[in-house]
Amino acid sequence: MIVGPLRSLSARVPGAVRRIVLTMKPQVVFVLGGPGAGKGTQCAKIVEHYGYTHLSAGDLLREERGRPDSKSGQIIDSYIKEGKIVPVEITINLLRKAMEKTMMANENKFRFLIDGFPRNQDNLQGWTREMDGKADVKFVLFFDCDNEVCVGRCLERGKSSGRSDDNRESLVKRIQTYLQCTRPIIEQYEQQGKVRTIDASRSVDEVFDSVKKVLDKEG
């Protein structure tokens, strides 16, 4: 039987793994910033140096889109190309399953970097509905980067990423979504004193030096 904060989530997990006892409440850092701000790059470095598991909402959505039996594949595909935010019911399920899987495999892995989420009010409401009381949001790591720099990085990444949205047309829409939908979420957390802002327009190593200062102070 599973006890602890993920008990109700784990009720949906099939039989064999149910005996694991999850005692720790997931500790979450939301990682936000414009497209190409360097969220994924910095999360990979954080994982190397600190005991966090990196879950990228975008990566999880792309993985789900690629699953032949996925019921949401087509809807995810169209939202991603349009730079729009996929309905939270889809995304929260993927995040929750990934968190469960991580903690089932190792109950000490309860620290998560949730990258690219919550990106709009719908994401935030979905999180609150499903995860309030079941996970603690410690703070938001905000990679602040000029839009032009972000676009330039994504276009450069597009030369090899194979991503359907690393092109100018999608990027105009992604930046618009970021400014209209995601910035207000960051501002909401800012008002709660929960945002740690990093100047992400510098080199990867300079950015990471600032990230380390935040994490060394806050865990």
Q: CA-CA distance, 17 to 43, in Å (whole number)? A: 29
Residue among 100 and 165 whose Cβ is closer to ligand C5P: 165
Q: CA-CA distance, 132 to 158, in Å (whole number)? A: 36
163 binds Mg ion (CB under 5 A): no
Question: Whole-number minimum distance, CB 16 to ligand C5P, in Å?
Answer: 31
Q: Which of 25, 45, 84, 194 binds ligand C5P (CB under 6 A)?
A: 84
79 binds ligand C5P (CB under 6 A): yes
Tokens representing residue 202 in the block = 């510098």
Inter-residue contact 150 to 34 (CB < 8 Å) = yes
Tokens representing residue 123 in the block = 């994401």
Residue among 28 and 61 whose Cβ is closer to ligand C5P: 61
- DSSP string covering 45-71, please? HHHHHSS-EEEEHHHHHHHHHT-TT-S
35 binds ligand ADP (CB under 6 A): yes
Question: Whole-number minimum distance, CB 40 to Mg ion, in Å?
Answer: 3
Report cis status (omega within 30 of 0) of the bond before 118.
Answer: yes
Q: Which of 4, 24, 27, 40 binds ligand ADP (CB under 6 A)?
A: 40
158 binds ligand ADP (CB under 6 A): no
Q: CA-CA distance, 155 to 177, in Å (whole number)? A: 17
Say how far residue 90 (Cα) sits from the centre of its chain.
Answer: 14
Q: What is the 8-class DSSP label of residue 199?
A: E
Show contacts with ligand C5P in window 139-198 (CB under 6 A): 165, 174
Show contacts with Mg ion in window 33-52 (CB under 5 A): 39-40
30 binds ligand C5P (CB under 6 A): no
Question: Whole-number minimum distance, CB 180 to ligand ADP, in Å?
Answer: 18
Count of residues interacting with ligand C5P (CB under 6 A): 18
Residue among 39 and 153 whose Cβ is closer to Mg ion: 39
Identify which range of 17-25, 117-125, 181-189, 202-210 contacts ligand ADP by CB under 6 A. 202-210
**Cα–Cα distance list, 203 to 33, 41, 97, 145, 206 (Å):** 16, 11, 34, 12, 5
How many alpha carbons lie under 13 Å from residue 216 in its C-beta half-sphere? 7
User: Could you list the residues that contact ligand ADP (CB under 6 A)?
Assistant: 33, 35-41, 153, 156-157, 203-204, 207
